[in-house]
Structure 1
Amino acid sequence: MSSPTATEPRATESSVRRSIPPLAQLAGLTAALGAILIALLALFILPSLKSGAHDLPLGIAGDPAAVTQAKAALESAAPGAYAVELFSSADDLDGAIADRTVHGGLVAGPQGLEVHVASAGSTAISGSLTATAQGVGRAMALPVSVSDVVPLPEDDPTGIGIGGLAFPLVFGGIVPVVAFRSIFKNSDRWKLAGLTSFAVIGGVIVAAVLRFWFGSITDSFWPVAGSMALGIAALAIPLAGLQQALGAKGFTIGAASMMFLGNPLAGIATTGAWLPSGLGDLGQLLPPGAAGALVRSTAYFDGAGSLGATLTLTGWIVAGGVLHAMGTRRAARRETIPA
């Protein structure tokens, strides 16, 4: 009795494909590609379409009677948009904004309503809060003024520099893995050294462009460089680990997840708090979102609120290193097993 040959499975698969009518194959492939297109549209557009203020921490300070009236008017103008915290003074409110405890606030008095924002934290949130404050002012029959507690640099008043980091960050984490893997096929040490070196150099390059070309940052060059380096490493090391442990399929799945999930949910341009509930939180647990939050904190807020993002990125790097070590050990065991 003859044993099955290696060509038999391929012949069977080929015969199955031939048995399916061309029209059915065309329709099936078209439907599958259409479903993928719908999924991509949902991933990239739906989060932005459904974004907005929802339970954003907001402070209110000022005259007690005016504060009570402002709080009621705020709830009427934007129900569910803000979670209000009361402060004893405008200085305390500004301190909380600088510490990123709240996204902004209102200072209410008998003579007027002053809205305090941090455009460096999110132009979307500061713009929304300013518009809402105008409605509150009309309800209270008070003039409204705006105070930007943490403004963006004059050379980048809309925050486009840092807001546009999502794709370069993901690109900088994916491409080096492929490049260094192709050059150092037989040396994991040199490959990892290359990824680490690129993360550091890439962080410096991005910080230099933001500082000296775009004018998006002023006096926080090295903190931003370090934040970007950590972000690139948190993408590259896990992808290298997936490639080492699971092969090309592992790398492809990881890279696609970062590109098509981590990228649109990063919220770098608006912050994760502006994205729909749940999606924004998920995005901050992935390297692109955590890196964007860390860069913004170090660039404009002296690192305030950066602990969570730092721990998240560090966790991804450690996980990637563990995966890489597991893959290396498994490959070594296969080589020592006699044929």
Structure 2
Amino acid sequence: MHERGKPIAVMVVVALLGMVFAGSFLGALHHLEPHGVPVAVVGQENAVDRLGTMMDKRADGAFDLTAYGSEEEARGALLDRDVDAVFVPGQGGAALVIAGANGKIENAVLTQAFHGVGQATGQPVTVEDVAPLPADDGNGVSSIFFVITTVIPAVILAVALAFAVPAAGAGQRIGLLAAGSVVLGGVNAWVAAGLTGALVGAPWALWGLGSLLVFAVSAFTAGALRVGGPPAAGLTVLLFVPIGVPASGGPIGPLFIPEWYAAFGEWLPVSAAINAVRNTVYFDGSALGGPLLVLTLWVVAGLALVLVPKKVRERSHAAAPEPAAS
């Protein structure tokens, strides 16, 4: 490339990066509205259907109501992460049971909506929080920042090892990534659970989740770098951070961003890890199957890329167009 063209190329690349960041964050988070928030309603199916029709007139599709035969069953569904709230109608008044650990914004929306139901039906609504956020994490953002501050060093780990030991074989590289994952996951868990007290109650599980997240991200980044070079690794970083963070819903949650973006985000490490950390620390390890599956799939994909035979990698690099002479 001609010397005078390089500054222009840099500006174009930076502008495109800015467009990705702005488009991803602002596109996901600028217009927040609930969609399909799952709520258990104690009562007969027909009564719940009537309640759903009434609520849809106020905010179509905002809430997904499911009839439960007993309050005990409905509360169990809330703690198992099957629903995000429980509404119990009653002659002398209704009760809304929430889990504060779901996040302040979602619970504020739920409280406002069902207070409106109470006003419309003449039933005063009392609110009970069965899984409140701790005082040290009153806004419920610690799990999000724990994941973000784990993902970024995980990418750095993969790139740094590639430069530190460029001649390492696949087995050695995987071993180094695994060791680094355990160390980084442990340090971040210690900071979150011990040093700052931001995420307390399950330090060993948090260490395990942090290590799995680091291994998933670093293995895939290392594999992309090994097969496709710096451009592939750069695209991986874009996928994990400026796309992965807003696609998780961040501090707002996935039920308030565009549905297609939230559905895409469910399959990315950031969203899966946030759910896993939140469910571990605040909900006694409920509903971990899905998030752990997603992280495991990224580990498998990363290992597959790292283990790609040398001949295949050479053919892929040979197929890439040669840069034009300056």
Change in Cα spacing, 1:230 to 1:162, as seen in structure 2 (3 Å) is same
- 2:200: which partner in 1? 218
Distance of 1:252 and 1:35 partners within structure 2: 13
Unaligned runs of 5+ in 2: 317-326
TM-score of the superposition, structure 1-length normalised? 0.83
Residue 284 of structure 1 corresponds to 266
Structure 2 match to 1:337: none
Match of 1:103 in 2: 84
Q: Once structures 1 and 2 are overlaid, which stretch shifts more, 147-156 or 131-140?
A: 147-156
Counterparts of 2:276 and 2:56, CA distance in 1: 31
1:115-264 equivalences in 2 (<5 Å): 115-188=96-169, 189-264=171-246
What secondary structure, in the 3-state scheme, does the structure 1 residue paired with 2:100 have?
Answer: coil
Q: CA deviation at 1:35?
A: 5.5
- SS of residue in 1 equivalent to 2:128: strand
CA distance in 2, matches of 1:258, 1:314: 15
Moved more, 139-148 or 188-197: 188-197
Larger RCO, structures 1/2 (Cα 8 Å, 6+ apart): 2
1:61 maps to 42
1:13-32 deviation line (CA, Å, top 9, x unaligned): 64xx98x9xxxx97x98677
Cα RMSD, aligned residues only: 2.9
Choose 321-330 or 310-319, whichever is displaced more. 321-330
**CA gap 1:232/1:298 in 2 versus in 1, 3 angstroms:** same
What SS does the corresponding residue of 1:303 show, helix, strand or coil? coil
User: Is the Cα–Cα contact under 8 Å of residues 118 and 150 in structure 1 kept in the other structure?
Assistant: yes
Q: Which residue of 2 aligns with 1:309?
A: 291
Match of 2:71 among 71, 81, 90: 90
TM-score, scaled to structure 2:
0.86
Mapped to 2, the partners of 1:214 and 1:74 lie a distance apart of 42
Identity %: 25
Structure 1 residue aligned with 2:322: none
Q: Of the two, which has the highest radius of gyration?
A: 1
Question: Counterparts of 1:257 and 1:333 in 2: how far apart (Å)?
Answer: 25
CA distance in 2, matches of 1:170, 1:176: 10
- Gap runs ≥5 in structure 1: 1-12, 335-339
The alpha-carbon deviation at position 240 of structure 1 amounts to 0.5
Residue 278 of structure 2 is matched in structure 1 by: 296
Deviation at 1:83, TM superposition (A): 1.1
Residues 48 and 221 (structure 1), Cα distance of their counterparts in 2 relative to 1, 3 Å cut? same
Secondary structure of the residue that 1:256 maps to in structure 2?
helix
1:80 is matched with 61
- 1:142 counterpart letter in structure 2: Q
Q: Alpha carbons of 1:64 and 1:187: their partners in 2 closer, same or farther (altered >3 Å)?
A: closer
* 8 Å contact kept, 2:222–2:233: yes
How far apart in 1 are the matches of 2:110 and 2:239? 33
Residues paired across the two proteins, number: 315
Query: Structure 1 residues 244 and 144, CA, compared in 2 at 3 Å: closer, same or farther?
Result: same
**In structure 1, C-alpha distance between the alignment counterparts of 2:311 and 2:284, rounded to whole Å:** 42
Q: Offset at 1:70?
A: 4.4
Say whether 1:49 aligns with 2:33: no
3-state DSSP of counterpart to 1:165: helix
Distance in 2 between residues matched to 1:65 and 1:111, nearest whole Å: 21
- Name 1:4's counterpart in structure 2: none
